[in-house]
Amino acid sequence: MFINLNLVAAQNQSKEKTAFQISAPWNADYDVRSDVAIVYGINDAGGNFEQRIKGYRDKGYEVQFMTGIAWGQYQDYFTGKYDGKTHWDEGQVTAKGDTIWHGKFVPYIVPTENFLGYMKSQVKRAIDAGITAVYLEEPEFWSRAGYSDAFKTAWQKFYGSPWRPQHESPEATYMSSKLKYQLYFNALKTVFAYVKSYSASVGKKVKCYVPTHSLINYSSWQIVSPEASLANLPDMDGYIAQVWTGTSREPVYYNGTAKERVFENAFLEYGSMVSMTAPTGRKIFFLTDPIEDRQHSWDDYKVNYQATFTAQLLYPMVNNYEVMPWPSRIYQG
């Protein structure tokens, strides 16, 4: 019997063409019937992680796992429940001594070795629950950060010399940014290596992805990210290009005038992710979001969603999509 192996491979790949990310349990109100349900966070949506996984699997989904690598619902780590020690000193801190927060009791993190041990426990639990891929999203270190004790310790270890405030000289700024870059490169390298080794030890093959904004957006928002070098990670299988109205409506200059140019900016953002990924052969998903984090009218959401959606269709070499994040907030408000 003749078997077309290319066709078989294509059919296998087609099972992961569309996805959505969700922290809430399955509900018919927002069951969008993608190929994959990416369940978000061990501690999100009140916990009950294994039950949330089972709920989507019982509805026929391939179930995968996403969590933040730079922030998340990790209060058990910061308050000491994880290892008996508090870790608020591992947040990203500005020159004024202020911690940069992603949300209530959710600081942006300096990824210490101890924190990476905690992250391994998170992905282990997800693998034990039967997920088939791990997404560690948004490896982000704010440019204005770099003043915490945890960062100073990392500086001493990386450079072998005392910490220097980044605002004091261009050289110190460069060294600070280089360290931020390296910290999150190493964080992803360490956790992804654990995902591959642990999953193999229990007879599974789990893929690893990085959902990330574009470098265009990070330069605009003044965030340091190692994404341009992530293709060097042997255990990384691909990206989600996180491009949506929230990133693409950032005002950009043209002919000396700064204003929102959502379609044009989205086109460039998607393009930067495609060009970065194409030489590596890694998989890339395009994300769009019918709404965004900031509150606007539904008419505003619609026109800008159409702009970003059209922009992604101009890259026909990509045919994998995260069709929406957080469908519960879209369909239930």
116-171 pLDDT, tens digit each: 999 999 999 999 999 999 999 999 999 999 999 999 999 999 999 999 999 999 99
Above 80 in pLDDT, residue 109? yes
Q: 152: buried, middle or exposed (CB in 10 Å: 19+, 13-18, 0-12)?
A: middle
For residue 53, being part of any structural domain is answered with yes
For residue 223, being part of any structural domain is answered with no
Domain count, the chain: 2
| CA-closest candidate to residue 13, choices 170, 230, 235, 207 | 207
**Ranges assigned E (strand) in the chain:** 18-22, 36-40, 62-68, 101-103, 106-107, 133-137, 141-142, 207-212, 223-224, 238-242, 252-254, 257-259, 283-287, 321-325
Q: How confident is the model at residue 292 (pLDDT cuts 50, 70, 90)?
A: confident
- Average pLDDT over every residue of 212-230: 94
Cα gap 95→152, rounded to integer Å:
12
Same domain, 241 and 191: no
Same domain, 295 and 180: no
User: What is the structure's pLDDT at 12?
Assistant: 43
For residue 231, being part of any structural domain is answered with no
Same domain, 133 and 54: yes
Above 90 in pLDDT, residue 202? yes
Cα gap 184→186, rounded to integer Å:
5
Same domain, 158 and 63: yes
User: What is the structure's pLDDT at 71?
Assistant: 96
Q: Which helix (H) or strand (E) holds 74?
A: none
| CA-closest candidate to residue 223, choices 140, 150, 305 | 140
Last residue of a domain, one of 164, 187, 207: 207
Lowest mean pLDDT among 11-20, 95-104, 175-184: 11-20
Measure CA 37 to chain center: 16
For residue 132, being part of any structural domain is answered with yes
**Residue span of the structural domain in which 182 resides:** 20-207
**What pTM does this model have?**
0.92
Measure CA 286 to chain center: 13
User: What is the structure's pLDDT at 231?
Assistant: 83
Kindly write down the DSSP assignment for every residue of 177-189, as one continuous string: HHHHHHHHHHHHH
Q: How confident is the model at residue 278 (pLDDT cuts 50, 70, 90)?
A: confident
Same domain, 191 and 253: no
